[in-house]
Amino acid sequence: MEDLYADQTREVPFHGWHHVSFVAHNARKFAEELGADTATAEIAGLVHDVNYLVAARGGASVGTPLRARALRDIGLDADSVKIIDEIVITAETHSRGQDLSPEAMALSDADTLFKALPITPVILAPLYMRETGRSLRDLAEKIVSEQVPLRDDGIYFYSESARKKYEGWGDVNLRLWSCILDSLDDTLVVDLVSQVEKYTSIPAGSQSEPGGCWQ
């Protein structure tokens, strides 16, 4: 599977091998706790973001053909390929809910943990913007609109250990991104971002209606 990333034709500085190997490793750990099939959760982690090798945007289903090919190449039968694709698609952040298979929960927790790491907004978010062509506002809106409702519904994480160890990081992360979004309605910040854009290659994005900083 690592070869798939080594031979990539698109540059994926955020969703590269470092990301999928982190997610696969942790999906296996969360799977043990959640009573999921550990091998299935780990394999789902390895192929969950192959869509980014195909296109910058469009979601997990864009990667279904490449995912199927990679899974067949490691010897999985058609039923297993279908099951793993379903795990990946149901675990997507923008649409996941309460009713997930244990394997999808394990995958989701591992992927969410990567997003919630305190280093992610500092080191990895600029790489996400470079990879996907999203502006700072696009990314902040995406994070806040997708992840705050999950946190409020009590399904930011599914496993007890992730909740216990990492929910605090998640809270700080969401608060930070809510404040970033709020700050992009302040012309002082927008002017500053546009002045340093030549050094960072990070566009602020278009302005929208002012909103309050999420607490």
Task: Kindly state the tokens that stand for 118.
Answer: 């305190």
Judge whether 31 and 77 are in contact, CB under 8 Å.
no
Report the residue number, 5 or 184, with the smaller CB distance to Fe ion: 5
Q: How far is the CB of 206 from Fe ion (least distance, A)?
A: 27
Q: How far is the CB of 170 from Fe ion (least distance, A)?
A: 15
Residue 167: half-sphere exposure toward Cβ, Cα within 13 Å: 15
Q: How far is the CB of 215 from Fe ion (least distance, A)?
A: 27
Report the residue number, 109 or 111, with the smaller CB distance to Fe ion: 111
Judge whether 167 and 206 are in contact, CB under 8 Å.
no
Judge whether 131 and 56 are in contact, CB under 8 Å.
yes
Judge whether 14 and 90 are in contact, CB under 8 Å.
no
Report the residue number, 131 or 182, with the smaller CB distance to Fe ion: 131
Report the residue number, 1 or 193, with the smaller CB distance to Fe ion: 1
Instruction: Give the number of other Cβ atoms within 10 Å of residue 90's Cβ.
Output: 19
Report the residue number, 18 or 185, with the smaller CB distance to Fe ion: 18
Q: How far is the CB of 201 from Fe ion (least distance, A)?
A: 22
Residue ranges that bind Fe ion, judged by CB under 5 A: 49, 111
Q: Which of 16, 7, 14, 44 is nearest to 28 (CA)?
A: 44
Report the residue number, 48 or 137, with the smaller CB distance to Fe ion: 48
Q: How far is the CB of 122 from Fe ion (least distance, A)?
A: 18
DSSP states along 23-88: HHHHHHHHHHHHT--HHHHHHHHHHTTTHHHH-SSS-GGGGHHHHHHHHHHTT--HHHHHHHHHHH
Q: How far is the CB of 16 from Fe ion (least distance, A)?
A: 10
Instruction: Specify the length of the chain in residues.
Output: 215
